[in-house]
């Protein structure tokens, strides 16, 4: 990888100088990134998909504890509703609230619709089952989480 980078920099420099573009040659000869940065850039980056839907970290911890008790959630109780939290929640939503999509931890419209059905059945939500995590859905989710 490093040899390829050096070769590309050398070729770019030679082309820049041959074309008479000193500005191009100057930027092509910039110092390479430190080895630590180069190593980090070659690693796969996994985005942290956190969707608390308006819950505070403490409220999200309540949800995670509930998921751990009832829905096989076995990740950190850290107050960040990430992919594993939502996978556990989707298992609940699939069993009782009409969620019929992949158990993938992605909080898309189908997950929100099933959550809205849960919240409506518990008397916390009175809006449309529309798959939109708007203010009403977020407020209802907060109310529900605080009862856990």
Q: How does pLDDT run across 7-50, given as a tens digit for each residue?
A: 333 444 444 444 444 444 444 444 444 544 444 444 444 445 68
Q: CB neighbours of 48 closer than 8 A, spacing ≥ 6?
A: 80, 82
Indicate whether 130 and 70 sit together in one domain. yes
3-state SS assignment for residue 48: coil
Give me the pLDDT at residue 50, please: 82
Whole-angstrom Cα distance, residue 48 to residue 34?
25
User: Do 92 and 28 sit in the same domain of this protein?
Assistant: no
Indicate whether 132 and 68 sit together in one domain.
yes
Report CA-CA distances (Å) from 128 to 53, 93, 95, 125. Answer: 17, 17, 21, 9
* Domain-located, residue 50: no
Give the residue, 6 or 55, on which the prediction is more confident. Answer: 55
Pair (35, 71) in one structural domain: no
DSSP state at residue 33: P
Q: Tokens standing for 95?
A: 């069993």
The total domain count for the chain is 2
Q: pTM of whole model > 0.85?
A: no
Residue-wise pLDDT for 45-84, tens only, equals: 444 568 999 999 999 999 999 999 999 999 999 999 999 9
Domain span including residue 87: 57-146
| 114-145 residue pLDDT tens | 999 999 999 999 999 999 999 999 999 999 99
64 burial class (0-12, 13-18, 19+ CB within 10 angstroms)? buried
């Amino acid at each position: 990888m490093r040899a390829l980078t050096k070769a590309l920099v050398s070729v770019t420099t030679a082309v820049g100088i041959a074309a008479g573009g000193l500005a191009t040659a100057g930027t092509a000869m910039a110092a390479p990134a430190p080895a630590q940065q180069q190593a980090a850039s070659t690693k796969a980056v996994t985005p942290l998909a956190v969707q608390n839907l308006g819950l505070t970290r403490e409220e999200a911890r309540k949800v995670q504890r509930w998921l751990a008790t009832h829905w096989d959630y076995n990740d950190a109780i850290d107050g960040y509703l990430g992919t594993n939290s939502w996978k556990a929640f989707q298992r609940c939503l699939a069993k009782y609230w009409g969620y019929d999509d992949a158990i993938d931890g992605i909080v898309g419209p189908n997950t929100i619709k099933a959550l809205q059905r849960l919240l409506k059945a518990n008397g916390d939500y009175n809006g449309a089952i529309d798959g939109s995590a708007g203010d009403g859905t977020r407020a209802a989710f907060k109310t529900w989480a605080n009862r856990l």
